[in-house]
Chain A
Amino acid sequence: MYRQGDLLFVEVDEIPKDAKTDEKGILAYGEVTGHTHRIRSGVEAAMRVAAGVAYVQAMKEAHIDHEEHGTITLPPGNWQVVRQREHVPEGYRQVVD
């Protein structure tokens, strides 16, 4: 697994078959900073989304960029993008930045 800020990339065997490709490749967007976690264009990797969960399908090494966090390099494979969460008395909520 790899981590960039509030995103964790966990390798999975396969991506759900009904996942749709998102051409923009922006995995997460910071509401107040405008910063993005994004797949570097030009690399052989695609962002896929199924049931609100993002995946990175990396045919070769995939670089994930961010304005403040260092770039991470995912080896070829299928990666589920896990957003960080936080406890609240009612359960939990996704971390927003």
Chain B
Amino acid sequence: MTNNIDTDKIREKAAEMAQHWVDNFNPDGKPDMEGIQKLLSQRNFEDEMVITISVKSYQEVSDALRRGVRLLESDMRGASDKEIVAYVKKLMPEYDEVPADLMKHLKSFDGKSLKDASDADVDARIKELEPWRCIWDYYDMAFWESVYSQLPSDKKVDEFMNQSFFDAFKLGLGFCINLGSLVVGVALPEAHRDEEGRLHAEDKAAVVWGDDHQYWWRGVQIERDWIENKDDVDPKLAMTWENMEQRRCLTEIIGWEKVLTCVNQKEIQRDARGILIETDSLNDGEEHPRFVKVQDASTDREYILRVPPETQTASEGVAWTFDIDAKRYNPLQET
């Protein structure tokens, strides 16, 4: 049999498609939940009946699966339309109306009913369905889109390629758990970035995924209080915080001037390597701590490094930080 599929081309096309989604999804940082739910509900592949539930975070997945599987496997034969509508709306408050194909499905389902089953029994059924094997993210979708794009056009191919599923990724869908008749769409975290694409937000969490709130400053994860209660943060922390990158972020958040004024800094000496400063005591046993303020050769960012209190020049201080004599410290290349 001749293999008509060019696997290299698929791989190349899939990478291109995935990049396209990465570049285009979630443009303003916030997933469009209403739009995602609408698009997933329009899914029209092979005329299958499908229940869709869109959730904002991974934390809501278990509940969504439980509601979806219970609904899908509920025996409502003999129930009136009114009873069915009431049942569906109780399980799925996000549904404005009960789709006709779902109504038909519930009226004819004759398997083992989960309608009145305990949560534990529903969970056991979910386990049988192995949802963790049915996760599709935009890379998977890109791959399948690339495969199908290689096939001669016919109804099935066209249906697959026209799925509104694809568009949902552009609105911030992160991944789907696709169980065929039940699709749980999970949105990407709400994420805010700076002009260089790094996670960053000056006055709120940069990443929000359900109850998870993360605070980032130009690609560096920082403490919540530094953003949410910045006026109450002790500026001395910007001189003593152990992690150098986070310390640098804190000085940028509070502002160098406020930090240096708070510790009553005095310039002792400056040279090509930096500025040697002395401050009031930081209440850690040293009366007059000394620091070198330096600029990174590649990024131009300013850092402050504590040096021994007897240090006399910035050059001597910088050399000390590498455990080397100031006369010997002379890098041929510095980046």
Chain A residues within CB distance 8 Å of chain B? 1-6, 8, 10, 30-33, 66, 68-73, 82, 84-89, 93, 95-97
Contacts and interface: CB of A to CB of B under 8 A. Distances in A.
A89 B286 contact: yes
Contacts of A84: 305, 321-322
Given A2-B333, A73-B333, 13 more contacts: A3-B331, A4-B334, A10-B324, A32-B246, A68-B298, A69-B296, A72-B333, A82-B322, A84-B305, A84-B322, A86-B321, A87-B309, A95-B305
Contacts of A2: 331-334
A38 to B, nearest CB: 14
Chain B at the A interface: SS class: loop
A85 B323 contact: yes
Contacts of A8: 322, 324, 331
Contact of B244 (A71, A82, A96): A96
B66 to A, nearest CB: 35
A87 B307 contact: yes
The 4 closest A-B pairs by CB, nearest first: A70-B335, A3-B331, A97-B245, A3-B334
A46 B242 CA distance: 31
A87 B310 CA distance: 11
Contact of B243 (A3, A32, A70): A32
A5 B334 CA distance: 8
A4 B321 contact: no
A3 B335 contact: yes
Interface of B: 219-221, 242-246, 284-286, 296-299, 305-309, 320-324, 329-335
Given A3-B335, A71-B335, A89-B285, A32 B323 contact: no
A13 to B, nearest CB: 16
Contacts of B299: 68-69
B244 A72 contact: no
A88 B306 contact: yes
A33 B297 CA distance: 18
A33 B245 contact: yes
Contacts of A69: 296-299, 335
B332 A1 contact: yes
B245 A30 contact: yes
29 contacts: A1-B331, A2-B334, A3-B297, A3-B333, A3-B335, A5-B296, A5-B298, A8-B322, A8-B331, A30-B245, A32-B221, A32-B243, A33-B245, A68-B298, A69-B298, A69-B335, A82-B323, A84-B321, A85-B321, A86-B244, A86-B307, A87-B306, A89-B284, A89-B285, A89-B286, A95-B305, A95-B321, A96-B244, A97-B244
Nearest to A64: B335
A97 B308 CA distance: 21
Contacts of A71: 335
Nearest to B317: A87
A66 B296 CA distance: 14
A82 B305 CA distance: 16
B172 to A, nearest CB: 24
Nearest to B291: A87
Nearest to A7: B322
A88 B335 CA distance: 26
A71 B285 CA distance: 40
Contacts of B297: 3, 69-70
Contacts of A32: 220-221, 243, 245-246
